[in-house]
């Protein structure tokens, strides 16, 4: 996508500097900063501190981390060490481990002398695959928006509610939940997006920054406003992303997603989840019982970052001194609350049969593992 007229991916390999460049998302939406990542420690810090965030982008970042490790020491021992180090950075998003496993398995099957070049090429491939997958997710989600738009009076937009940021900066490009929105807008279908603020990190501001840059009509709302809008017929559908999806279609996403799904169910509003196939964890069935939920720093809850009156980016405390903050980063929405899963291969019901029907090859591999 474009920033100030220049096309960017969320990360890219700079051939001249022979190093990975990332958008440091901690400063968005107020300041656009690029960081060069040079060491395995910096890769880990980028993931933990959410300089990069979003399950697909975390996976791609981890692949470049493995490439860095293979470039310095391609031995089995060092690859295992890098795998373990990066795997500990974020426990919930499954794309991280998916990318790490894919890299380690391919590299260990090669002669040691071939591993460094192969590792970098594989990281490039994973990034390019992500872009293609997300574009195709957008094509499939676009069909849903088209159908709703066809039943609207002329000029009335399709009103979409989204939660957190599942946009191009949460992937390598296009995004998951936003990809259908971008493609609908580019097709001149009128849409309006309700953007949840998504406390505690206010990632809705990132979605607003993205949509505004693309010229898409949107309104930033508090997390508690979505149910009210649904009650009053102002939401035509909900589309969110997911950080891990179980084989039966439970979806684990940013905290607060479950509440939106409950409100959608109560008001007969379709609730869709957009996901790339690497986000499916075929080893897990019951998301509520089996998916580990990351507990992040309480400061993310007790403090809010924003732009001060004098134009500086700063933080303010919003709680009384000494008040502790609880910060579960994700929740799980059971499959019975999900209208459908939008994937790169099509849209399916959120069920074991639905996912296996679209991905029989992946389901078969999982069953045999």
Mean pLDDT of 81-87: 97
| Shared domain check, 163 and 56 | no
| Shared domain check, 156 and 43 | no
> Is 133 part of a structural domain of the chain?
no
Of 107, 128, 149, at which residue does a domain stop? 128
| Shared domain check, 268 and 151 | yes
> Is 90 part of a structural domain of the chain?
yes
Euclidean distance between CA atoms 74 and 249, whole angstroms? 38
> Is 81 part of a structural domain of the chain?
yes
pLDDT digits (tens, 9 = 90+) for 222-272: 999 999 999 999 999 999 999 999 999 999 999 999 999 999 999 999 999
Active-site hit among 24, 243, 250, 281: 243
> Is 208 part of a structural domain of the chain?
yes
Residue 74 has pLDDT above 90, yes or no: yes
CATH, residue 242: 3.40.50.10470
> Is 16 part of a structural domain of the chain?
yes
Euclidean distance between CA atoms 31 and 43, whole angstroms? 21
Q: What 8-state DSSP symbol labels residue 201?
A: T
Active site residue 196: no
| Shared domain check, 189 and 337 | yes
Percent of the chain at pLDDT exceeding 90: 95
> Is 354 part of a structural domain of the chain?
yes
Find the helix packing angle between 76-87 and 40-48, rounded to 10°. Answer: 20
| Shared domain check, 124 and 146 | no
| Shared domain check, 216 and 120 | no
| Shared domain check, 313 and 198 | yes
Q: What 8-state DSSP symbol labels residue 238?
A: E
Provide the mean pLDDT of the chain: 96
Specify the pLDDT at position 5: 83
Element (H, E) at 210: helix 204-214
Confidence of residue 321 (pLDDT cuts 50, 70, 90): very high
| Shared domain check, 111 and 30 | yes
| Shared domain check, 147 and 78 | no
Confidence of residue 369 (pLDDT cuts 50, 70, 90): low
Confidence of residue 2 (pLDDT cuts 50, 70, 90): confident
- Are the beta carbons of 347 and 319 closer than 8 angstroms? no
Of 67, 95, 128, at which residue does a domain stop? 128
Euclidean distance between CA atoms 101 and 40, whole angstroms? 17
Parallel, antiparallel, or unpaired: how do β-strands 218-221 and 271-274 relate?
unpaired
CATH, residue 35: 1.20.120.420
Of 128, 153, 175, at which residue does a domain stop? 128
Specify the pLDDT at position 367: 72
Euclidean distance between CA atoms 159 and 193, whole angstroms? 6
Cis omega (within 30 of 0) for bond into 89: no
| Shared domain check, 316 and 190 | yes
Number of domains in the chain: 2
Three-state SS string over 298-346 comes to CHHHHEEEEECCCCCEEEEECCCCCCCCCCECEEEECHHHCCEEEECCE
| Shared domain check, 93 and 33 | yes
Range of the domain at 16: 2-128
| Shared domain check, 178 and 111 | no
């Amino acid at each position: 996508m474009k920033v100030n007229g220049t096309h960017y991916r969320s990360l890219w390999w700079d051939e001249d500097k022979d190093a990975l460049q990332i958008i440091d998302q901690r400063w968005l939406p107020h300041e656009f900063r690029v960081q060069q990542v040079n060491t395995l420690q910096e890769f880990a810090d980028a993931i933990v501190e959410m300089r990069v965030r979003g399950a697909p982008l975390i996976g791609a970042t981890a692949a470049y981390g493995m490439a860095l490790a293979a470039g310095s020491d391609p031995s089995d021992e060092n690859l295992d060490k890098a795998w373990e180090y990066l795997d500990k950075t974020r426990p919930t998003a499954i794309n991280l481990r998916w990318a790490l496993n894919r890299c380690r398995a391919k590299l260990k099957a090669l002669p040691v002398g071939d591993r460094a070049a192969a590792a970098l090429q594989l990281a490039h491939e994973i990034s390019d695959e992500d872009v293609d997958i997300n574009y195709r997710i957008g094509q499939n989600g676009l069909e849903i928006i088209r159908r709703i738009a066809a039943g609207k009076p002329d000029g009335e937009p399709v009103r979409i509610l989204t939660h957190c940021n599942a946009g191009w900066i949460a992937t390598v490009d296009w995004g998951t939940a936003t990809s259908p929105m971008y493609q609908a807008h580019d097709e001149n279908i009128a849409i309006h997006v309700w953007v949840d603020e998504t406390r505690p990190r206010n990632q809705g501001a990132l979605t607003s920054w993205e949509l505004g840059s693309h010229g898409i009509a949107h309104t930033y709302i508090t997390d508690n406003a979505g149910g009210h809008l649904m009650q009053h017929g102002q939401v035509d559908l909900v589309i969110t992303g997911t950080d891990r999806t179980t084989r039966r279609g439970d979806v684990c996403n940013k905290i607060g997603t479950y509440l939106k799904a409950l409100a959608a169910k109560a008001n007969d509003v379709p609730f869709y989840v957009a996901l790339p196939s690497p986000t499916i964890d075929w080893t897990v069935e019951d998301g509520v019982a089996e998916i580990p939920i990351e507990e992040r720093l309480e400061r993310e809850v007790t403090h809010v970052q924003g732009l001060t009156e004098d134009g500086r980016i700063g933080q303010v405390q919003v709680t009384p001194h000494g008040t502790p903050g609880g910060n579960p980063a994700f929740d799980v929405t059971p499959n019975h609350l999900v209208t459908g899963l939008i994937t790169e291969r099509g849209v399916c019901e959120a069920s074991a049969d639905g996912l296996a029907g679209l991905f029989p090859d992946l389901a078969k591999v999982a069953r045999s593992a």
